Structure 1
Amino acid sequence: MWLKIVGSLMVVIAGATIGFNLAARYVERPRQIRQLISCLASLKAHINYAALPLPEALSKCTGGVSGPVADLFQAMGRILVTNGWLTPQAAMNQALTETTKLVLRKPEKEVLAVFSANLGGMNREEQHKSLDLAHEQLSLIQCEAEKLCEQNVKMYRYLGICGGLGVVIILI
């Protein structure tokens, strides 16, 4: 009897944990997009006004930002310093594969790929325009991510708990 109760409790807790972890990814995505927008704005200031070299600007643009997004820009700057022959786009792709805790999806990664392809290959005005375009695109993606967050967070939490309860009912 006690074994069934303990086993059932463990199954419900496992289901709830899975549901809450999936919901946390939906909560984290808009936050990381906001951090990306913040880092891009800081990068724009470092490139246009301070006229810093790209690896140094990438390392300094993460001021006030922590977590996977800061790790992404730090890794990109480090890659450009150690491998000076790499293009910014190749460095961004390598940094995206190195940074594992990012919950970015394909649209954000495409914006970053286009942004990094234009980075360093143009004059300051064109880079300024490219940064503005990336900022606008990420802002639109952020609105969509917040809508998805509102829709799916409760659903995944309830689905995790109810799924665990459903498995318990089937097993008993």
Structure 2
Amino acid sequence: MQWIGALLFIGTTTLAGFDISKRLNERPRDIRQMKNALQMLEAEILYSQLPLPDVFATIATQIPQPTGSFFDGIETSLRQHADLHDIWDKHVEDLIKRSAFASSEGEILKQFGRTLGQHDFEQQQKHIYLTLKHLDRELDEARDQQFRYSKMARTLGLLCGLFIVLLLI
């Protein structure tokens, strides 16, 4: 019975390490998806000049999850309520919980949400460009963390489980 418990504990810590590694591997992908979505937002705002709910609906159909559902949720909420800033912040918080985004990406997106729909086309384009630059910096950091810590997290999960089991036996 003691060995079964030890194996379950080692399995649990190993899975925790793999989960951390998975989040580190997904973070650069999620940031790239958001950058693509913001570039699409820029193109839709500047060239099609559709209302924001329609722009968000278009982006939601073209970007994979979880970013696609982020824009879909904003579009649905905007059709029911009119306060874009509060809706944007709420959906950014939900996105951080459902994706591998760190809080720093959340802050960048929240800052962008405060400017969305508040300026003319040229100023809006500048805000999108600034947000993309900030996300580029975060993408570089995410890739660096992925390279440094992904394999280590998997290994440490297993080793921590083994260490604790050896201490308890």
Distance of 1:15 and 1:108 partners within structure 2: 28
Give the AA of the match of 1:21. D
- Out of 146, 154, 167, which is 1:157 matched to? 154
Give the Å deviation of 1:57: 0.5
Q: Confirm or deny that 1:90 pairs with 2:86.
A: yes
* 8 Å CA contact retained: 2:92, 2:109: no
2:32 aligns with 34
Q: Confirm or deny that 1:64 pairs with 2:51.
A: no
Give the Å deviation of 1:113: 1.4
Q: Any idea what the Cα deviations from partners look like across 1:38-83, whole Å, max 9, x if unmatched?
A: 1001111111111110111012113432222111111112111110
RMSD between superposed Cα atoms in Å = 1.3
Identical-pair percentage = 28
2:118 aligns with 121
Distance of 2:62 and 2:3 partners within structure 1: 47
Distance of 1:141 and 1:98 partners within structure 2: 19
Gaps of 5+ in 1: none
1:142 aligns with 139
Give the Å deviation of 1:135: 1.0
TM-score normalised to structure 1 length: 0.91
SS at match of 2:117: coil
Give the AA of the match of 1:65. I
* 8 Å CA contact retained: 2:54, 2:75: yes
Distance of 2:93 and 2:103 partners within structure 1: 13
Gaps of 5+ in 2: none
Aligned residue pairs, count: 168
1:105 aligns with 102
Q: Confirm or deny that 1:46 pairs with 2:18.
A: no
Distance of 2:5 and 2:85 partners within structure 1: 50
Distance of 1:98 and 1:75 partners within structure 2: 10
